Amino acid sequence: MVDQNRVEAEAALLPGLAGLGFTGPSSLQAKTTTVEGLEKEFNWLVGELQRIATVAAPQRKPNRGFQSPWWTPEVKEAREAAKRAEREHNRVPSPYLQYRLGQAQKALSRAIQQAKSKAWRSTLHEATHHRDLLWKLERWARLRSFTPPDPPKLPTLADPLGGLDLATHTAKANALARKFFPRPQADLTDIQDPDLHQDWVPRFLLQQDVTSGDIAEALAKARPWKAPGEDNLPIGFLKLCGPPLYDLLAVLATACLRLGWFPSHFKRAKTVVLQKLGKQPAVVVVVVFLLRFAL
């Protein structure tokens, strides 16, 4: 439902706002000669892209139930009966019609509750055979269940070193970090060449010039609507911005390679720890990186 023409028109202004093609201190190349300036430009670009997405994509309207999986013929019939009773009562108010209206509204509430329970059980049963549905249920529970979100919970973990069970967030995080991101000491006793013990200096030149074609090729390889990250900008939206955005990213990526620095905005990741179905408390780690393009 995004307005593609609006996205393209807004994105066409990005190079001029960033100073691409300008000369002097206001040019994009001049503002990205330092790490601080480069990170500032990345943050500005993310903010502008979020603004374009806000003005070009309509907000999702609240679901009134007509397309919900629990909207069954029985619910529709009960709703129509409640509407008829309401119209009759409003036309000629009387205790009898008021009683009928109350009964019809109670019947509608029962029908909705039964339909929701049946649809929920059916969805859970389907999720046992289709794992992708688990993520949809998680997103629904987190964003659209109309209940306050629960704080992140992680059950008590057994101490791998044999001590007391781990109950605090800090102890659990340290244990998981040791498990999934170990830092073993390298055994160098079998290395005979003394040159390999010294600091390694690359003996080849790395191509530091990134073109807009490189950016377009990297985005083309990414799936358009997967894992947008905390900025909520999916790859499909970045593709709609087209060549103006590619030109900007090419200059910024070239500056990153020249300075040997990577934006902190794209270093953050979300790690979700899940227990495997039918297994003992072993875990699977799913890391969703916020970096959507690899250069």
Helix (H, G, I), strand (E, B) or coil at 45: helix
- Say what the pLDDT of residue 180 is: 82
- Say what the pLDDT of residue 275 is: 66
Q: Which two tokens stand for residue 57?
A: 């994509």
Query: For residues 249 and 11, what is the distance between their CA atoms, to the nearest angstrom?
Result: 12
**288 pairs with which residues across the strands?**
270
284 Cβ contact list (under 8 Å, min separation 6)? 273, 274, 275, 276
pTM given for the model: 0.56
Consecutive 10-residue runs of the chain (295 residues): their mean pLDDT? 91 92 88 92 94 87 64 91 92 91 93 91 84 76 65 74 81 84 81 70 73 93 82 90 94 91 81 67 38 36
- Say what the pLDDT of residue 223 is: 87
C-alpha gyration radius of the chain: 28
- Say what the pLDDT of residue 133 is: 80
Query: For residues 212 and 219, what is the distance between their CA atoms, to the nearest angstrom?
Result: 11
Domain ranges of the chain: 73-144
Q: Which two tokens stand for residue 280?
A: 């003992």
172 Cβ contact list (under 8 Å, min separation 6)? 154, 157, 166
